[in-house]
Amino acid sequence: MRVSYQWLKDYVDIQITPQELADRLTLSGLAVDTVDELGTEIENVVTGRIVKIEKHPNADKLVVCQVDVGQEELLQIVTGATNVREGHVIPVALEGAKLAEGLQIKRSKLRGVESRGMLCSGQELGMETRLLSPDMANGILILPEDVPVGLDAKEILGLNDAVLELDLTPNRGDALSMIGVARDVAALLNTELKIPVPQFQENNEKIDKLAKIDIEDIDLCRRYVGRVIKGIKIGPSPIWLQNRLRAAGIRPISNVVDVTNYVMLEMGQPLHAFDYDKIANHHIIVRRAQEDEKIISLDGVERTLNPEMLAITDEAGPVAVAGVMGGLESEVTDATINILVESAYFHPINVRRTSKALGLRSESSMRFEKGIDINGCLRAADRALQLMQQLAGGMVVSGTIDKFPNPITEKTILLRPKRVNWVLGVDIPKQEIMRIMESLQFRVQEQEGDILVTVPTFRPDISGEWDLVEEVVRLYGFNQIPETLPFGATSQGVRTAEQQMNWDMRRIMTSCGFYEVVTYGFVHPRIFDLMNLPKDSIFRNCVKLQNPLSEEQSIMRTVLVPSLLEVLQKNSNRRAQSGAIFEIARVFYPQEGQPLPEEVPVLAAVAYGNTQKTWNQPARPMDYYFMKGVVEQLMEGLGAASTAFSRHQDPSFHPGRCAKIEVAGRMLGVVGELHPNVVENYELPSRAVAVKLDLKVLAEVNRPVKQYQGLPKFPTMERDLAVLVKLEVPAAEMLSIIQRAAGELLKETDIFDVYQGSQVPEGYKSVAFSMKFQAKDRTLTDEEINEKMQRITKSLFAQTGAELRK
């Protein structure tokens, strides 16, 4: 909201500077972003009248003007402007004048002809060209003919003003008007608020015989006021009205249209002026639009309506989109002589949805969206009639059509001074609280030590006592509340077990070279085919959205890996040769008989390509063993129980390069290389590996409290063992057998070699194990280690058919 300082002074006696006013408003809750002092660079520019125009003797595109600026002699000024004519009143920069952007005017010669000043355009005076009429946007500024010459052009053009740019919160729709802001200013400065009282002349005609208004949908239009003025003359607005509209960021159009915009800015009530003679049978019908009903709006664009939108129609069809914009067929033109003024209250949410659906946001829709004063509709219509009669002539038709099916009464709220002071921690006298309420034009009445506050309908944001407390403190002054230290019981903020586990997982995954991503929980149904899932897969049973934003986001995901693959696909399309990402999120499973799905937390990670090369580590492929190592690092960092990997079949993973992850005997997830079909479906440049973990299971087996023990005092004993075993025997099974046979003395077991070749029989493989033995209370002897090795060997032979490699 742009607020003109000079315009504001019409309603409030302001004795402080614009910057001081901005500071006071900001402290009261109406934040002022900027204060734009207009015309600060402009000096020595006056109004002048062109008396004579002659061709330049030495230049075809220049003319020589004789200009009357109120001095004894005419000024000779050379210009190349094409929009000036004899008799035009224009701003003239005299010798020594200063213009916008530091331009200074000196006496000069143009093609041999002396020029003693310059005719000024709006841009040269620092005005926004978008707020000027098309003929003046790129030419000299033409002023009304009745403007006297020799006056300070800054004052005539409203450039001796300051514009305050307000950053309003959504609840303060009342401050989207000059009077709304003036009301707060008057309360802050403890001075009188002057609100104009509409006065105009009416003829003897009765409006009931000239127009008819019907509201078919009172839920979307709770009030509609219509008034008629006849015999007006369309023309340009006076300069003062144009200046105020430009200060507010609105381009002047004509006197009637400018009045509707002026009253909207002044009172916060959007208005619309229809050409009365273009309304079929002079009958306004407020109803929902029909499916695919068309209207050409004032901006010349044909728009398609639907039954969710409210339309203003006549008996022939739509003439306006309620609360958003009028129609082209009923617009006010130079030929208009009779006007039907609309002042209405439309449902804020419906206006917002209509504006968004049409891609059309206007000054009117912005105000309707935030809520206007339903009891101010008639007052705003009368104010518009007063100004139209004053500026365009005509006679107001007697009477008003006011459709107001369910009048709204003002709210009365009990305000307790003791409660106010307890909440704010101050001691504000009751009389001061009452004064603050009355300064905001709230009516007050004492009741047994408390205050009954009647809130006018222009403040729909006030709904309870807490809102009144806020009004008290913002006008009393936040800076007057003393600083105090907090008191009472305090507690240390800590993360929950789930939050800490997620925090640790993020730290570990990023340390392994992964980037965290955040994707949408809504996905496309085709992901199940892309992930190679069979038709009877349980993951295809998903929650479907009733109102999806698009088909791309029509269901809630049951698997997380596809979302990550889409991210990697986009990166691959942009020539990323490798990538490693993860996400901690939730998947959603429908629950029979329950309105909401089951939300299961999961971790998924996907990688392809090679790891990044570092100063001490070469690049290596991100294959199954890489991802398995990441999982082991993750489990070790979380302190989870012993982790086991065993062969597994999953339709989304490679049939021979996939393993299930078990912790404490429970299945935690799956890790492996993605199926070649999946990699091809997502157009990745190389093999990809993935892991998916059920964090609900992980939370149950996680050991967040780490147990520390002293460093061992006794040395370790190391032994190696190489055996021949059939190819189908899993290495994980052999590790488990070794651990059970060796018992607690075996501290660590690693596979350091797997070999197949000419020295190994066909169908067999050679597996070599490295083992470390250690006791807490003694140094182990060779006899003890040999006995353990014999037990390990016998167990392997008996359970896997292995034999020692010779």
- The pLDDT tens digits of the residues spanning 623-632 come to 999 999 999 9
pLDDT at 705: 65
- 187 versus 595: the higher-pLDDT residue is 187
- 677 versus 733: the higher-pLDDT residue is 677
- Inform me whether the pLDDT recorded for 487 exceeds 80: no
Amino acid code (one letter) for 664: A
Q: Give the side-chain half-sphere CA count within 13 A for 237.
A: 24
Percent of the chain with pLDDT over 90: 77
pLDDT at 486: 76
Average pLDDT rounded to a whole number, residues 130-156? 90
- pLDDT band at residue 706 using 50, 70 and 90 as cut-offs: low
For residue 152, say whether it is annotated as part of any ligand binding site: no
- The pLDDT tens digits of the residues spanning 196-246 come to 999 999 999 999 999 999 999 999 999 999 999 999 999 999 999 999 999
pLDDT at 72: 87
Which SS3 state, helix, strand or coil, does residue 191 take? coil
Q: How many CB atoms are closer than 10 A to CB 295? A: 25
- Candidates 358, 214, 211; CA nearest to 278 is 211
> 0.75 cut: is pTM over it?
no
Residues 476 and 427: beta-carbon distance below 8 Å: no
pLDDT at 641: 67
Residues 263, 265, 266, 270, Cα dihedral to 10°? 50
Average pLDDT rounded to a whole number, residues 709-731? 89
The values of phi and psi at residue 220, to 5°, are -95, -20
Distance of alpha carbon 564 from alpha carbon 510, whole angstroms: 16
Average pLDDT rounded to a whole number, residues 509-529? 95
Average pLDDT rounded to a whole number, residues 68-94? 93
pLDDT at 11: 96
pLDDT at 102: 85
Going by their DSSP bridges, the two strands 653-663 and 118-119 should be labelled as unpaired
Residues 675 and 651: beta-carbon distance below 8 Å: yes
Q: How many CB atoms are closer than 10 A to CB 637? A: 15
Distance of alpha carbon 273 from alpha carbon 284, whole angstroms: 13
For residue 291, say whether it is annotated as part of any ligand binding site: no
Strand-pair partners of 414? 452
pLDDT at 236: 92
Average pLDDT rounded to a whole number, residues 557-563? 96
- pLDDT band at residue 493 using 50, 70 and 90 as cut-offs: confident
pLDDT at 229: 97
- Inform me whether the pLDDT recorded for 618 exceeds 90: no
Chain mean pLDDT for the chain: 92
Distance of alpha carbon 669 from alpha carbon 631, whole angstroms: 10
The values of phi and psi at residue 250, to 5°, are -120, 135
Distance of alpha carbon 351 from alpha carbon 253, whole angstroms: 25
Distance of alpha carbon 32 from alpha carbon 188, whole angstroms: 15
Distance of alpha carbon 292 from alpha carbon 130, whole angstroms: 34
pLDDT at 665: 81
Which residues touch 25 (CB under 8 Å, ≥6 apart)?
31, 32, 164, 166, 181, 184, 185, 188
Residue identified by tokens 């006008």 is 475
Length of the chain: 806
pLDDT at 390: 96
pLDDT at 700: 85
- Candidates 398, 286, 267, 280; CA nearest to 342 is 286
- Inform me whether the pLDDT recorded for 140 exceeds 80: yes
pLDDT at 704: 60
Strand-pair partners of 771? 719, 749
Average pLDDT rounded to a whole number, residues 732-740? 89
For residue 467, say whether it is annotated as part of any ligand binding site: yes
Distance of alpha carbon 214 from alpha carbon 75, whole angstroms: 62
Average pLDDT rounded to a whole number, residues 673-700? 94
Reduced to 3 DSSP states, what percent helix, strand and coil does the chain have, rounded to the nearest 5? 30, 30, 40
- Inform me whether the pLDDT recorded for 159 exceeds 70: yes
Domains of the chain: 2-38+162-189 (3.30.56.10), 43-156 (2.40.50.140), 202-403 (3.50.40.10), 414-479 (3.30.56.10), 497-701 (3.30.930.10), 717-804 (3.30.70.380)
**Which of 256-260, 391-395, 512-516, 755-759 bottoms out in mean pLDDT, i.e. has the lowest?**
755-759
- pLDDT band at residue 731 using 50, 70 and 90 as cut-offs: confident
- Inform me whether the pLDDT recorded for 685 exceeds 80: yes
From residue 577, give the alpha-carbon distance in Å to each of 112, 531, 686, 703.
Answer: 69, 22, 9, 38
